[in-house]
Chains A and B, each alone.
Chain A
Amino acid sequence: MHNKTIAQIARDLAAGEYSSVEITQSLLTRIEQLDKTYNSFITVTAEQALAQAKAADEQRAAGNANAWTGVPMAHKDIFCTNGVLTSCASKMLSNFVAPYDATVVSNFNQAGAVSLGKLNMDEFAMGSSNESSYYGGVKNPWDIERVPGGSSGGSAAAVAARLVPGATATDTGGSIRQPAAFCGITGLKPTYGRVSRWGMIAFASSLDQGGTMTRTAEDSAMMLNVMASFDPKDSTCVDQDIPDYTATLNNSIEGLTIGLPKEYFRDDLSAEMQQQVRDAIAEFEKMGAKVKEISLPNTHLAIPAYYVVAPAECSANLSRMDGVRFGHRCENPQDINDLYKRSRGEGFGEEVKRRIMVGAYALSAGFYDAYYKQAQQVRRLIKNDFVEAFKEVDVIMSPTTPSPAFKAGEKTSDPVAMYLEDIFTIALNLAGLPGMSIPCGQVAAEGGNPLPVGLQLIGNYFDEARLLNLGHQFQQATDWHQQAPADLA
């Protein structure tokens, strides 16, 4: 039952193959058995899930079911869930029970979905390996010595381990696409403004975007149908028509032009990885797409710009975690400064502190123009690169990551090496573009375990339907998305 996709579960529930309570219970049991190993959940809401499942079954019996009624899924612990711990994987919020639902959460609730719980992540979504979580690292189901990627490592691992068929996630610099690639699943980061950020705990407000983690592009389309909404509570949400993303999955891709940015196919990318990605692109050519080399000349500026903008925004966004109204407060504060210093000193982990410091520095008097202002100018250059490119091509493809999943602890002492993990994904966030990672091959790791390789598809603004269409067509022609870690299949 755990190998079923969202689409299959929806069909089975509609056909009465099993009830929502049955599949929910089955997955809860599986989580209980397996997640001790992966640590992908921070909170499992079994009781609530079963109540939701029961209500969904009743709704179906009453003849009021829709596509999502009774379908199980789970949320990244960055989305506020009314009455449930919402920790953002931080000690700081390890006692924070949100008094309201994020718009994304309430969209799924209203659609009738069943939430199994809250998924592990890097603390405040800052990280590329899920090792910064206060609740411990998440293991990659393909090789538990290795990281699942981050920051949405819990979402990716849970979907890869078949604990849930789909999960919400967020992406600020690659936090959906990189873990999707590391875990061999399909991850979609929509256009900035497509999905409401209300109730999604902010890391870097101008870059954060909620998205999906699923095994197939079809499931991703189903999730996006629920997630995407215009939300007046989020001023940066864009009021633009939302198509039925499942309606165009089977469109022909014949005649589409795929752009291959030369800056993304670099020499330091292993020949093996390159080959997998090029083979995947050849698959699209077989389906009638054309390939064109393009240039995104400002690519090398993306990481430096990102590591000014994102820390700057986070330094302000995390100021509200001050121990005054909620969250961790130190014991016996002597005065207000002591309360601030110790509450924040104890509540935040190392990576979060590092980014707050970097951000505060970049915004300081005398440095603002050199750092923040210049980074914003770079952002415009990067955006223009893409705007120019999309005049010539319909979609851009690249590897999602420079290497497959690395071993836990390998990069924790070298922040810059960790930051370079996001080299292919970050530019999209700076430009606000949608991107998707689909599994497109495997490379053999030392020790023999195969490790998945991700193909990144970059679309024009609000062109998610095209990415999903391409992903679906690729998954009709190949079976990389059906590959599972050996002991989980």
Chain B
Amino acid sequence: MEWEVVIGLEIHAQLATKSKIFSGASTEYGADANTQACAVDLGLPGVLPVFNEEALRMAVKFGLAIDAEIGKKSVFDRKNYFYPDLPKGYQTTQLHHPIVGMGHIDIELDDGSTRRINVTRAHLEEDAGKSVHEGFGTMSGIDLNRAGTPLVEIVSEPEMRSAKEAAAYFRKMHSIVTYLGICDGDLSQGSMRCDCNVSLRPKGQEEFGTRTEIKNVNSFRNVERAIEVEIERQMDILEDGGSITQETRLYDADKNETRSMRSKEVANDYRYFPCPDLLPVIIDDNYIEAVRETLPELPDAKRHRFVKDHGLSTTEAAVLASSRDLAHYFETAAHAANDYKLAANWVQADVSAALNRLEISVTELAATAEQLGRILVLIKDNTLNNGGAKEVFNALVEGKGDGSVDCIDSLIDSMGLKQVSDTGAIEAIVDEVLANNQKLVESYLATPVEKRGKAMGPFIGQTRKAAKGVNPQVVMEVLKKKLSELG
């Protein structure tokens, strides 16, 4: 039978507020356990939540970015369940009146086409703490630093039809929230986590099949792999005439398999009700418009502009616009050099290579976008040849210079990379090279005329060795002339 895959994602993105959603404690990651949990986060008797308006602003910003309805009256509810890292015994979330209603994003598929995926809703809620199972013997430790960190939970419609689409959707959401500056997007620290709802149905059937939910997948690659193996697992069961159990599953990346976590039959009745400690959040058009004013250019718009205004290919544009920081780096360099094409080549080649080699993000790169811009200018005015430019760039990457644009010129001088294009000077160097390499000259002259082009190679190498910054084109011309004079 032919099966159709149905995937919906729930993405939790931690909002990049300085303090927590209902308390003044810091949200910074990596502090000692329980040092960033105040009385409110600990759920002590008598404490009360106060809503952090910055979280509201960020959620509205997100809603506007995905062209969603904004909830002018949103309400916090209590979701009741007991868990050791849930201090109050309930999570404060938004059930019936989320801050963000129906919206959508476009994802790019491998064949270059785009697909619109609808977003059902996005709501604000608080993160839980963490249970620590190592180092406490038969007990568990609880770290409540993360408790109360603001989250926006983004729920998609079940409209994705392959693991690849799901991964593209997750990537796109990542790109949007980081562009907006509302989430640091650091997947390794759990800043974005993804729950994947997967089901299969016979092609053509309208009704959904029974779904499973893969919890807390935290990388683009794992979203794709986890869904792929889950599709295979479900298909095997269905092909054998079995049925799928509705349950929560976990993805084990090492074994590349999903396994059952808990079945929905014994799931909690969360007993939701409106939180009486918090007032409904009421916002008006003025508020929404003021937030809209702060929206940056988003990835899609940027991508289109790169193609339309700057002549980049769609692939180049997609790569460069995928990350806000990379796009910013690229545009800064391109603007300084007034050459988007050249900058695009450099960012995709040398800059990306450096980032991969050092395993760092572009914001951590020692060579600044302004410096790259200067290098590109120097290539264009023939001060640097391509090899020299790479050497300067790599020197900057390794931390040479003082970080300024001005240091580049002195760096070029000290490294002897300044391109020599003066024919007279190059003739003198070539003369010396020829004089010192009589044997090469003889073998060159012995070479049949039609093969001499290739035989010129060693002379070019020797010349560039003698003077690093020589303009290779001029060298070629001078060599041709000198050698032809010899015979």
Contacts and interface: CB of A to CB of B under 8 A. Distances in A.
A368 B46 contact: no
B48 A201 contact: no
Contact of B45 (A96, A313, A316, A364): A96
A199 B48 CA distance: 8
A214 B312 CA distance: 80
A325 B46 contact: no
B357 to A, nearest CB: 46
Contacts of B276: 204-206, 236, 313
B23 to A, nearest CB: 10
B296 to A, nearest CB: 31
Contacts of B46: 79-80, 86, 98, 100, 102, 198-202
B211 to A, nearest CB: 20
B45 A319 contact: no
A340 interface: yes
Interface string B138-154: 00101000000000000
A340 B87 contact: no
Contacts of B50: 232-235
A319 to B, nearest CB: 2
A420 B45 CA distance: 29
Interface string A168-210: 0000000000000000000000000000011111101110000
Nearest to B269: A365
A324 B142 contact: yes
Contacts of A325: 42-44, 87, 142
B282 interface: no
A138 interface: no
B43 A316 contact: no
A88 B45 contact: yes
Nearest to B79: A316
A160 B404 CA distance: 79
B49 A340 contact: no
A319 B90 contact: yes
Contacts of B49: 235
A368 B90 CA distance: 17
Contacts of A363: 80, 271-273
A304 interface: no
A16 interface: no
A462 interface: no
Contacts of A234: 48, 50
B252 interface: no
B44 A98 contact: yes
Interface in A231-289: 232-236
B51 interface: yes
A363 B48 CA distance: 22
Given A198-B46, A365-B269, A319 B277 contact: no
Given A312-B273, A363-B271, A233 B82 contact: no
Interface string B66-103: 00000000000010101010011110000000000000
A146 B434 CA distance: 121
Contacts of A480: none
Contacts of B44: 98-100, 320, 325-326
B47 interface: yes
A316 B39 contact: no
Nearest to B274: A376
B279 interface: yes
Given A202-B46, A235-B48, A319 B271 contact: no
A463 to B, nearest CB: 22
Contacts of A201: 45-46
A356 B47 CA distance: 20
Contacts of A324: 84, 87, 142
A422 B325 CA distance: 63
Interface string A80-117: 10000010100001001011101000000000000000
A86 B47 CA distance: 13
Nearest to A196: B48
A421 interface: no
Interface residues of A, number: 45
- Considering residues B44, B142, B269, which has the most beta carbons from chain A within 10 angstroms of its beta carbon? B44
A15 interface: no
Contacts of A336: 84, 140
A143 interface: no
Contacts of A96: 45
Given A99-B39, A100-B39, A322 B89 contact: yes
B278 interface: yes
Contacts of B140: 336
A236 B274 CA distance: 14
Nearest to B40: A233
Contacts of B89: 316, 318-320, 322
Contacts of A7: none
A426 B296 CA distance: 53
B48 A197 contact: yes
Nearest to A309: B276
Interface in B14-52: 39, 42-51
B279 A235 contact: yes
A313 B277 CA distance: 10
Nearest to A102: B46
A484 interface: no
A235 B80 CA distance: 21
B45 A93 contact: yes
A236 B49 CA distance: 10
A320 B82 contact: no
Contacts of B39: 99-100
A372 interface: yes
B273 A368 contact: yes
Interface string A294-327: 0000000000000000001101101111101111
Contacts of A365: 269, 271
Interface in B251-282: 269, 271-273, 276-279
Given A206-B276, A235-B279, A372-B273, A319 B48 contact: no
A14 interface: no
B403 to A, nearest CB: 43
Contacts of B48: 197-198, 233-235
B278 A235 contact: yes
Contacts of B278: 235
A372 to B, nearest CB: 6
A67 interface: no
A34 interface: no
A322 B277 contact: no
A315 B46 CA distance: 15
Given A205-B276, A336-B84, A316 B269 contact: no
A360 interface: yes
A340 B82 contact: yes
Nearest to B89: A319
Nearest to A200: B46
Contacts of B80: 315-316, 319, 360, 363
Contacts of A86: 45-46
A195 to B, nearest CB: 13
A235 B277 contact: yes
Nearest to A341: B82
B315 to A, nearest CB: 50
B262 to A, nearest CB: 14
B45 A80 contact: yes
B75 to A, nearest CB: 12
Interface string B227-251: 0000000000000000000000000
Nearest to B279: A235
Contacts of B78: 316
8 contacts: A199-B47, A200-B46, A201-B45, A202-B46, A235-B48, A235-B51, A313-B273, A363-B273
Given A316-B80, A364-B271, 4 more contacts: A316-B89, A320-B45, A322-B82, A363-B273
Interface of B: 39, 42-51, 78, 80, 82, 84, 87-90, 140, 142, 269, 271-273, 276-279
Interface of A: 79-80, 86, 88, 93, 96, 98-100, 102, 197-202, 204-206, 232-236, 312-313, 315-316, 318-322, 324-327, 336, 340, 360, 363-365, 368, 372
